[in-house]
């Protein structure tokens, strides 16, 4: 019974955090998309910078939520963030290749924005996990390489 | 814009259903549908509570009134600080009393503490007023703004039914907790969009004209000054005011009505079902007094100016609308226009979803589950709550779609009547000598005064009997102010004679627990005096007659021959200054004096029971028998 209660409060805890994170990103997401659309439409740099600033604010708010609720980014959140970033990057590169007018006109703000986003994420990882930990997060080879297999074997 | 708007609104409805479905999957007991297991996370109270306060003041009308009256109406935003201070005064003690006595709702708590069924019935009437006409009023506006934004591609009635259906769907699945999660998200969207639209409009549409005083105003309205301390007007509908309606007494009494939001049974349910430590202080100081008031004071006037600037033709109360500003926004940026509609829709949906859901929960907890169907199983109670929710949504959709005037008349009473609970709540939380008879006497006077200074009482009386010499809000005093003044006077007068009545023992037991285990240390006599006198001084200058000084204090000061160049209207600077002082006072009371900080575990230890039967010997026999039949109870 006690386990059931613990599981119940764990489930509520996860849902509480998820709802909070969603609350932040719903508002941030709308404003960021609106600013980006405005910037691309009018080919103005300020709304584009504004959009990236808003996304970084959302990221900082997410980190604060993690700190308050003693959690880390979940696997789904990391995956969603990476996919969104990759899509943005590919879209930007494709637009450059296709000589799209807004992408060319906004080359500097868009590249700075994407770069700063990456830097902020890396800064978070380095400060949170340390340099080695941050590197290990991307070190897929060792996860499946001979060292990991050996370690699994010795642990039985 | 129509497709984009439908897409964005649809996305938010899908989110509400999604989070509701997740909540339903996590629920372990059917009772959690009613109160979220009384363990809502503190952030829910912070975010949802702030959103409810902003939405509850009537954001839809707020911008239109700002367009009409300018900065003199902007002054009512200071009332949000007063609402925060009222929250500081009662919310922590209410949570303590609820947890100590085991009661989950305001009606049950007041009823047990004062030993009065009447108070429970009255809170249920308030719940009904908020859940049906007040929510119906918002749903009606929601339909109107969607119809206006889509150029009647979606008609008003269609929008009302569609919104009611989706809000009901989310509520019926997720219950109290799911609804509060969705409201929390809407609240963040609301605050973000007020800033976004305000800044976007100021940058793209020239709403900065507000700063230079270039915004058109209706003829005879002082848009940058408060038109006096009080005007001897017979009231709205009987006599025109000079220079505008919002005198300092109108502003102060309107601010009292805002207190009605935080004292409403629904809002107190939100507070009582939040898991301790509820972080009330953070919400009250930084989010309500700080963020909500700040956003309303600083960003909302730009939006109001935008409405006035985009209006074509003479600006009058009968003609002012959002049509012009929507067209102007679409011309600049479709996403900005969608953001504007979404901001209004978020505020209106918060009101509808919150008061409908809390209405269903409170009716089941306080009436159906307790008196009418006491033997219901937990599953039965959940089913009953869902059916009640369906009935509420059906009623408010019918009212909003086909009888919006009825919703306006009924909804206009809700806040003014809700604030009449203030003496009862102060008695429960702080003053043990306020007796049941005193509270009831005060409530009778308060309710009568509210009814006779609002359209409902005036219309009914004048159609049945004779024309009254006064209209709505005579002497530019809001009905909440009339009611509360007479309520407090009657309550204090009756308390003189009934302070040591038969129920004093019950009241003492609760206050003894407060004193023993949750003593409120306000410091020595000097510190105590400083706190209360600072509040009074602040209220006098921020909301009371002293606010009139703000008209010229920073543009043409009486203490100097110099003319300052602030680049802002003097009244606006005054408002910002006293808003910051208000945040400081709220911080001092909530944190420093500890009035909103829960630092000890709360233990259930007190059975609050009335020491006398529910009905006195003098009650009519037929009434007593009828109530005994529907509300069987042990009187031994």
Does some domain include residue A59?
yes
B435-461: average pLDDT: 94
Min Cα distance A135 → chain B (Å) is 34
Whether residues B39 and A24 touch (CB distance < 8 A) is answered with no
Whether residues A30 and B333 touch (CB distance < 8 A) is answered with no
- What the block records as the tokens of B44 is 């829910």
Residue B191, pLDDT above cutoff 80: yes
What's the pLDDT at A153?
56
Please calculate the CA angle A47-A85-A131 and round it to the nearest 5 degrees: 110
Residue B180, pLDDT above cutoff 50: yes
Based on the structure, what is the number of domains in chain A?
1
Chain B residues touching A18 at Cβ < 8 A: 22
Whether residues A26 and B15 touch (CB distance < 8 A) is answered with yes
In this structure, are residues B96 and B602 in contact, taking their beta carbons and an 8 Å threshold? yes
Closest-CA residue to B261 (of B422, B371, B149, B385): B422
Whether residues B43 and A20 touch (CB distance < 8 A) is answered with yes
Residue B427, pLDDT above cutoff 70: yes
Chain B residues touching A30 at Cβ < 8 A: 8, 189, 192-193, 339, 342
Min Cα distance B7 → chain A (Å) is 12
Residue B297, pLDDT above cutoff 80: yes
B445-456: average pLDDT: 95
Whether residues A20 and B26 touch (CB distance < 8 A) is answered with no
Does some domain include residue A156?
no
Residue among B1, B188, B191, B349 with most chain A CBs within 10 A, to mutate: B188
What's the pLDDT at A156?
47
Does some domain include residue A147?
no
Whether residues A34 and B339 touch (CB distance < 8 A) is answered with yes
Task: Write down the ipTM of this complex.
Answer: 0.87
What's the pLDDT at B612?
47
Report the CATH fold assignment for B2-52+63-217+226-284+295-630: Sodium/glucose cotransporter (1.20.1730)
Q: Where are the domains of chain B?
A: 2-52+63-217+226-284+295-630
Distance CA B335, CA B329 (A): 9
Q: Give the pLDDT confidence of A116-136 residue by residue, as tens digits.
A: 999 999 898 888 877 777 677
Q: How many CB atoms lie within 10 A of CB B420?
A: 28
Does some domain include residue A46?
yes
**Partner residue opposite B192 with nearest CB, options A18, A27, A38:** A27
Q: Give the pLDDT confidence of B42-52 residue by residue, as tens digits.
A: 999 999 999 99
What's the pLDDT at B7?
93
Does some domain include residue A142?
no
**Closest chain A residue by Cα to residue B8:** A30
Per-range mean pLDDT, top range of B168-177, B215-224, B277-286: B168-177
Chain A residues touching B188 at Cβ < 8 A: 23-24, 26-27
Interface A-B, measured as beta-carbon pairs within 8 A, has a size of 69
Whether residues B26 and A19 touch (CB distance < 8 A) is answered with no
Distance CA B559, CA B362 (A): 55
Whether residues A34 and B336 touch (CB distance < 8 A) is answered with yes
Min Cα distance B49 → chain A (Å) is 14
Q: Give the pLDDT confidence of B58-101 residue by residue, as tens digits.
A: 999 999 999 999 999 999 999 999 999 999 999 999 999 988 88
Distance CA B271, CA B114 (A): 21
In this structure, are residues B264 and B110 in contact, taking their beta carbons and an 8 Å threshold? no
> Does the pTM exceed 0.80?
yes
| Domain extent at residue A21 | 2-131
**Closest chain B residue by Cα to residue A17:** B41
Does B43 touch chain A if contact means CB atoms closer than 8 Å? yes
**Closest chain A residue by Cα to residue B332:** A38
Is residue B246 helix, strand or coil?
coil
What average pLDDT does the structure give for chain B? 90
pLDDT class of B572 with cuts at 50, 70, 90 = very high
Query: Which tops the pLDDT comparison, B489 or B239?
Result: B489
Q: Give the pLDDT confidence of B338-393 residue by residue, as tens digits.
A: 999 999 999 999 999 999 999 999 999 988 888 888 888 999 999 999 999 999 99
Distance CA B425, CA B466 (A): 36
Q: Which residues of chain A have pLDDT under 50?
A: 1-4, 156
């Amino acid at each position: 019974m006690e386990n059931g209660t613990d599981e119940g409060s764990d489930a509520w805890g996860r849902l509480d955090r998820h709802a909070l994170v969603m609350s932040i990103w719903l508002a941030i997401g709308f404003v960021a998309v609106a600013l980006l659309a405005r910037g691309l439409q009018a080919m103005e740099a300020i709304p584009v910078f504004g959009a990236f600033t808003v996304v970084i604010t959302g990221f900082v708010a997410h980190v604060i939520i993690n700190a308050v609720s003693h959690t880390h980014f979940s696997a789904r959140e990391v995956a969603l963030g990476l996919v969104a970033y990759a899509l943005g990057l590919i879209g930007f590169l494709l637009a450059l290749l296709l000589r799209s007018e807004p992408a060319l006109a906004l080359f500097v703000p868009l590249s700075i924005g994407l770069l700063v986003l990456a830097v902020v994420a890396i800064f978070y990882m380095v400060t949170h996990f340390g340099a080695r930990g941050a590197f290990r997060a991307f070190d897929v080879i060792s996860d499946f390489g001979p060292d990991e297999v050996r370690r699994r074997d010795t642990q039985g | 814009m129509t497709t984009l708007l439908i897409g964005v609104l649809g996305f938010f409805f899908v989110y509400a259903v999604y989070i509701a479905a997740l909540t339903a999957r996590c629920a372990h007991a059917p009772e959690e549908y009613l109160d979220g297991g009384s363990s809502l996370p503190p952030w829910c109270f912070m975010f949802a509570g702030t959103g409810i306060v902003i939405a509850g003041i009537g954001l839809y009308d707020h911008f239109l009134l700002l367009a009409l009256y300018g900065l003199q109406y902007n002054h009512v935003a200071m009332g949000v600080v007063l609402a925060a201070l009222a929250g500081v005064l009662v919310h922590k003690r209410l949570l303590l009393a609820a947890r100590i006595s085991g009661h989950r709702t305001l009606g049950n708590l007041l009823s047990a503490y004062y030993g009065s069924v009447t108070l429970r019935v009255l809170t249920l009437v308030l719940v009904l007023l908020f859940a049906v006409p007040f929510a119906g009023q918002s749903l009606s506006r929601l339909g109107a703004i969607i119809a206006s934004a889509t150029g009647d591609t979606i008609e008003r009635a269609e929008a009302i039914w569609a919104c009611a259906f989706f809000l009901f769907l989310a509520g019926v699945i997720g219950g109290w907790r799911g609804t509060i999660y969705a409201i929390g998200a809407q609240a963040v969207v609301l605050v973000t969009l007020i800033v976004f639209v305000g800044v976007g409009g100021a940058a793209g549409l020239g709403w900065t004209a507000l700063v230079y005083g270039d915004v058109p105003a209706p003829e005879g309205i002082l848009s940058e000054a408060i038109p006096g301390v009080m005007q001897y007007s017979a009231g709205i509908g009987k006599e025109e005011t000079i220079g505008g309606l919002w005198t300092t007494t109108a502003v102060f009494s309107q601010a009292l009505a805002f207190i009605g939001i935080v004292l409403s049974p629904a809002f107190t349910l939100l507070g009582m079902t939040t898991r301790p430590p509820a972080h009330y202080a953070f919400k009250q100081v930084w989010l309500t007094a700080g963020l909500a008031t700040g956003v309303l004071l600083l960003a909302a006037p730009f939006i109001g100016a935008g409405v006035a600037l985009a209006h074509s033709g003479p600006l009058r109360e009968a003609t002012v609308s959002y049509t012009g500003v929507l067209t102007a926004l679409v011309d600049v940026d479709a996403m900005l226009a969608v953001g504007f509609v979404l901001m209004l829709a978020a505020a209106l949906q918060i009101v509808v979803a919150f008061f409908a859901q809390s209405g269903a929960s409170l009716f089941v907890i306080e009436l159906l589950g307790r008196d009418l169907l006491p033997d219901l199983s937990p599953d039965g109670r959940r089913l009953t709550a869902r059916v009640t929710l369906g009935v509420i949504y059906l009623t408010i959709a019918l009212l909003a779609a086909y009888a919006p005037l009825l919703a306006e008349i009924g909804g206009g009473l809700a806040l003014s009547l809700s604030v009449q609970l203030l003496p009862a709540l102060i008695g429960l939380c702080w003053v043990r000598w306020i007796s049941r008879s005193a509270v009831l006497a005060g409530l009778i006077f308060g309710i009568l005064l509210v009814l006779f200074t609002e359209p409902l009482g005036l219309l009914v009386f004048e159609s049945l009997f004779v024309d009254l010499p006064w209209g709505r809000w005579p002497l530019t005093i809001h009905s909440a102010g009339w009611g509360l003044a007479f309520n407090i006077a009657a309550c204090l007068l009756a308390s003189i004679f009934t302070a040591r009545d038969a129920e004093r023992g019950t009241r003492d037991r609760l206050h003894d627990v407060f004193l023993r285990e949750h003593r409120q240390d306000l410091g020595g006599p000097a510190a105590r005096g400083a706190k209360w006198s600072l509040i009074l001084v602040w209220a006098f200058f921020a909301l009371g007659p002293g606010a009139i000084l703000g008209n010229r204090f920073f543009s043409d000061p009486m203490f100097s021959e110099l003319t300052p160049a602030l680049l802002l209207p003097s009244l606006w600077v005054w408002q910002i200054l006293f808003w910051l002082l208000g945040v400081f006072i709220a911080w001092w009371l909530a944190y420093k004096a500890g009035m909103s900080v829960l630092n000890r575990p709360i233990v259930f230890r007190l059975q609050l029971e009335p020491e006398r039967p529910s009905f006195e010997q003098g009650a009519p026999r037929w009434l007593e028998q009828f109530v005994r039949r529907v509300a069987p109870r042990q009187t031994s």
